[in-house]
Amino acid sequence: MLIKSPPAEITRDFWMLGTAEYPVFGYRDADECVLFEASVSAVAPVIARQLAALGVGPEAVQQVIVTHAHPDHVMGVPVLRKLFPRLTVLASPVAAKTLGVEKAVAFFCKVDQALAAALQTAGSLSGADQAQPPAEMRIGIDRTIQEGDTVTAGEASFAVLETPGHSECSLSFHEPRRGWLIVSDATGYYLPEHDWWWPNYFASYGANLDSMRRLAELGAEVLCLSHNAVVSGAEHVAAYFARALSATESYHHRIVAEVRGGKSSRALAEELGAEVYAKTQLLGLDFFQKNCALLVKQSLQHEGITEQA
Ligand SMILES: [Zn+2]
């Protein structure tokens, strides 16, 4: 089963919040709440309103976990800090380093603004929920976490897993007793309405495949994707992983075959970007084409192919 419309209770006391495009996952236990993902700045007030409607006050929200340092997963942090005064922000050391770089955060601000506008155009946000640029061009992290660490909230205990490939700093979280798995973008960008994956191995194809295989083996019952859907039910989760892996491998093989057949990387990236853009217009064609150029690069690198100039 797919859960696609936040706010939605995934299972007891575990919620999909925010918007479908940029959800966060909230677990609450008595008077403590932890959020996985930080979404974009314009969605942060939506999350606070949804939590208030559930009876979770600002004081109860004590931790937000940054899964990786990409703008659509971190720009909500400064706003969440204002809304939830007791908040501790957690991320991997690599993500913390990126988020301390002014140039990076300044670029993230531009993306954050574009995303807020796109969410309004799509009708996912009202005009009142605008992008809120941070006061300073850095996003502070209070606690760094890595493989082997645990994030606890009340009685829940989430194991921190390093799952690189989408980015170097990507983390996943597993609550084994409850069968919950939060993987952020490790399985690519899944579009439920097209039942289609845009593979997202921007940092490494091989590492991304390894991460996906490792996550699939956990046998989770609930799989939280950080865009568009939560997959619920062990069989559905297993089927999702099998198909995501196969979609990722096919994409890679296609890239390799096209380049070996003589297509230029640039032409291929433009073609692949246009295919994604035809399915989702949350960002511009140029954004998708630039990101597809990274996929082409990673695929060729994985095969040891150097393109003729
Ligand atoms: Zn990402």
How confident is the model over 82-106, as pLDDT tens digits? 999 999 999 999 999 999 999 999 9
Q: How far is the CA of 308 from the centre of ligand 1 (A)?
A: 30
248-285 as b/e: b if 16+ CB within 10 A: beebbeebbebbeeebebeebbbebbeebbeebebbee
Distance between CA atoms of residues 226 and 239, nearest Å: 18
CATH number, domain 2-234: 3.60.15.10
Q: How far is the CA of 152 from the centre of ligand 1 (A)?
A: 24
The pLDDT value recorded for residue 39 is 97
Q: What is the DSSP letter of 125?
A: S
Query: Which residues are found with C-beta within 5 Å of the ion, ligand 1?
Result: 70, 185
Q: How far is the CA of 262 from the centre of ligand 1 (A)?
A: 30
Q: List C-alpha distances in Å: 110 to 40, 75, 105, 137.
A: 11, 10, 9, 12
Distance between CA atoms of residues 276 and 112, nearest Å: 20
Distance between CA atoms of residues 195 and 211, nearest Å: 22
Where are the domains positioned within the chain? Answer: 2-234, 247-303
35 and 58 Cβ atoms separated by less than 8 Å: no
Higher model confidence: residue 30 or residue 301? 301
Q: How far is the CA of 204 from the centre of ligand 1 (A)?
A: 13
Q: How far is the CA of 67 from the centre of ligand 1 (A)?
A: 9
Q: How far is the CA of 94 from the centre of ligand 1 (A)?
A: 14
Token pair for 13: 């006391």
Q: How far is the CA of 122 from the centre of ligand 1 (A)?
A: 20
Q: How far is the CA of 62 from the centre of ligand 1 (A)?
A: 24
156 and 202 Cβ atoms separated by less than 8 Å: no
The pLDDT value recorded for residue 30 is 80
Q: How far is the CA of 180 from the centre of ligand 1 (A)?
A: 20
pLDDT band at residue 127, thresholds of 50, 70 and 90?
confident
Q: How far is the CA of 184 from the centre of ligand 1 (A)?
A: 7
Higher model confidence: residue 127 or residue 165? 165
3-state SS, residue 196: strand
Q: List C-alpha distances in Å: 38 to 17, 77, 81, 91, 256.
A: 11, 6, 10, 11, 35
Q: How far is the CA of 189 from the centre of ligand 1 (A)?
A: 9
The pLDDT value recorded for residue 105 is 98
140 and 94 Cβ atoms separated by less than 8 Å: no
Token pair for 129: 């929920």
Q: How far is the CA of 228 from the centre of ligand 1 (A)?
A: 13
Mean pLDDT of 37-41: 98
Q: How far is the CA of 80 from the centre of ligand 1 (A)?
A: 19
Q: How far is the CA of 266 from the centre of ligand 1 (A)?
A: 22
Question: Has residue 309 got a pLDDT over 70?
Answer: no
The pLDDT value recorded for residue 307 is 74
Phi first, then psi: give them for residue 69, nearest 5 degrees.
Answer: -90, 65
Q: How far is the CA of 167 from the centre of ligand 1 (A)?
A: 7
pLDDT band at residue 308, thresholds of 50, 70 and 90?
low
pLDDT band at residue 31, thresholds of 50, 70 and 90?
confident
Phi first, then psi: give them for residue 144, nearest 5 degrees.
Answer: -95, 145
Mean pLDDT of 48-52: 97
Distance between CA atoms of residues 257 and 280, nearest Å: 26
Q: How far is the CA of 211 from the centre of ligand 1 (A)?
A: 14
3-state SS, residue 21: coil
Q: How far is the CA of 70 from the centre of ligand 1 (A)?
A: 5
192 and 285 Cβ atoms separated by less than 8 Å: no
Mean pLDDT of 57-81: 97
Mean pLDDT of 187-193: 97
Q: How far is the CA of 55 from the centre of ligand 1 (A)?
A: 31
pLDDT exceeding 90 applies to what percent of the chain?
96
3-state SS, residue 163: coil
Q: How far is the CA of 277 from the centre of ligand 1 (A)?
A: 17
Q: How far is the CA of 185 from the centre of ligand 1 (A)?
A: 5
153-187 as b/e: b if 16+ CB within 10 A: beebebbbbbbbbbbbbbbbbbbeebbbbbbbbbb
